[in-house]
Amino acid sequence: MTGYYDIVLGLIPVALLGITAALTVVGISPSAAIPIGSLVAMALIGHAMFVNAPVEPTDETGTTRPPINAD
């Protein structure tokens, strides 16, 4: 089963190469198309790292007491 991060990893090269190629075909120079494609790829990476960041599950038992054998 593919998850969110698998899709993001697949979209990074697709965004970089696909958007660059599409903009080049439309008539934008490669020196302008490459930065635009890389900005989209960086936006995908930034979203995966900071907006939808992977987090470890927390152990929320609801108790505030210390362990029984604590010193």
d(CA 9, CA 45): 8
Alpha-carbon 60 to chain mean position: 27
Please tell me the predicted confidence (pLDDT) of residue 66. Answer: 66
Please tell me the predicted confidence (pLDDT) of residue 71. Answer: 59
Please tell me the predicted confidence (pLDDT) of residue 56. Answer: 76
Q: How far is CA 52 from CA 15, 27, 45, 46, 62, in A?
A: 19, 35, 10, 9, 26
Please tell me the predicted confidence (pLDDT) of residue 1. Answer: 76
Mean pLDDT split into 10-residue runs, the chain, 71 residues: 88 94 96 95 92 74 67 59
**Predicted structure pTM score:** 0.70
